[in-house]
Amino acid sequence: MNDTREPRGRAAPAEAGALRLGTRRSRLAMAQSGQVAEAVTRVTGRPVELVEITTYGDTSREQLAQIGGTGVFVTALRDALLKGEVDFAVHSLKDLPTAQPDDLVVAAVPVREDPRDVIVARDALKFTDLPSGARIGTGSPRRMAQLNSYARSHGLDIATVPIRGNVDTRIGYVRGGELDAVVLAAAGLNRIGRGDEVTDFLSVDTVLPAPGQGALAIECRAGHTAQDAALVAALAELDDPLTRVAVTAERSLLAALEAGCSAPVGALADLLADGQIVKEMRLRGVVGTTDGTRMVQLSTTGPVPETHDGAMALGRELAAEMLAQGAAGLMGERAH
Ligand SMILES: NCc1[nH]cc(CCC(=O)O)c1CC(=O)O
């Protein structure tokens, strides 16, 4: 067992052996890790072994996962990477802090899933068919702000109700009759095989998704050893450059607003195509108070940025315009 790796203090992946994928054990994390594991085996020819990383958050109550819990999990996965206990990790990009640690690198951002938010409502109801007085559960200030704003401007009498918990718990509120609907991300439901429970897709014109929603990040050590560098290079094959440029712009906007993953910020970069030819990219951003009374929503359209710096600049520029319109003053509050 004691091989030559030990004295270097950092276990490198065994040559041609299994790659170790660090994962949380939640249903969503296991599903997306399993899906990425298959893709990684396809491009590297190596088996992938899932290594469950448990944290205080996993062993205590689910609530913690909501109260800044994602940060706790990301940190635990990153620690395992840095210690050499695992070779790579898969994160939901929308839960990943915008600051990138020096010793780690996002080796791939695979093709994005559906970025939209959806509702799961009783009686297969569509969003606009929810009756007067309907109660919609969501713990996200971003979703609350936009749903309440839409309801105000369209004379819809609905109430957003703050809830917490995993997907099962949330959908359980609808099945149990406590709520008329809950809002979730299409991508998460699809990944755990529950996409058929969606009763309506919210147009991104109504609710802009969270920056990076629907996209994954495959993170590795930044290539200080030959094995690390080889893995980073191999995983690059799973990168989708257009998804990466879009999420880079969205996350740059989030960072420039100095907002965290629980802030009421929506952002989406989409590509305007002419047939198969991508023509331009449009970046939209929104910030609002959770009651939906005050919103700043802007967009910009231009050539698809050709570099990382270009995508970063696009996000920063839109954020600067939003800040000039008072965005900072709308981000102070939090959901109860
Ligand atoms: N905050 C929890 C979370 N983080 C990632 C997803 C799934 C969607 C995605 O990968 O963007 C979800 C669930 C949800 O918002 O419904």
Please write down the long-range contacts of 238-241, taking CB distance under 8 Å and 24 or more positions apart: 238/36, 238/39, 238/40, 238/43, 238/107, 238/108, 238/110, 239/107, 239/108, 239/109, 239/110, 240/109, 240/110, 240/111, 240/112
The residue range of the domain holding 84 is 6-110+215-239
Q: How far is the CA of 20 from the centre of ligand 1 (A)?
A: 23
Ligand 1, atom 1, lies closest to the CA of 95
For residue 178, tell me if it sits in a domain: yes
Q: How far is the CA of 186 from the centre of ligand 1 (A)?
A: 8
Where is the domain boundary, 147, 174, 201? 201
Q: Is 262 in the pocket of ligand 1 (CB under 6 A)?
A: no
The per-residue pLDDT for 169 is 93
What is 307-326 written as a DSSP string?
SHHHHHHHHHHHHHHHHHTT
For residue 60, tell me if it sits in a domain: yes
The per-residue pLDDT for 130 is 95
Residues 180 and 166 in one domain: yes
Q: Catalytic residue numbers?
A: 95
Cα–Cα distance measured from residue 268 to residue 219, given in angstroms and rounded to the nearest whole number? 22
For residue 166, tell me if it sits in a domain: yes
Residues 39 and 158 in one domain: no
For residue 206, tell me if it sits in a domain: no
Which residues sit opposite 22 in a β-bridge?
Answer: 51, 89
Instruction: Tell me how many domains the chain contains.
Output: 3
Q: Which atom of ligand 1 is nearest to the CA of 188?
A: 7
Q: Is 140 in the pocket of ligand 1 (CB under 6 A)?
A: no
The per-residue pLDDT for 16 is 65
Are the C-beta atoms of 105 and 222 separated by less than 8 Å?
A: yes
The per-residue pLDDT for 166 is 87
Cα–Cα distance measured from residue 269 to residue 209, given in angstroms and rounded to the nearest whole number? 10
Q: Is 57 in the pocket of ligand 1 (CB under 6 A)?
A: no
Tens-binned pLDDT, residue by residue, of the chain (336 aa): 444 444 444 444 445 689 999 999 889 999 999 999 999 999 999 999 999 998 765 555 554 444 445 677 899 999 999 999 999 999 999 999 999 999 999 999 999 999 999 999 999 999 999 999 999 999 999 999 999 999 999 999 999 999 988 899 999 999 999 999 999 999 999 999 999 999 999 999 999 999 999 999 999 999 789 999 999 999 999 999 999 999 999 999 999 998 766 779 999 999 988 888 888 999 999 999 999 999 999 999 999 999 999 999 999 999 999 999 999 988 875 433
Q: How far is the CA of 185 from the centre of ligand 1 (A)?
A: 6
Q: How far is the CA of 229 from the centre of ligand 1 (A)?
A: 30
Model-level pTM? 0.90
CATH number at residue 255: 3.30.160.40
Residues 187 and 276 in one domain: no
For residue 305, tell me if it sits in a domain: yes
Residues 87 and 232 in one domain: yes
Ligand 1, atom 8, lies closest to the CA of 188
CATH number at residue 76: 3.40.190.10
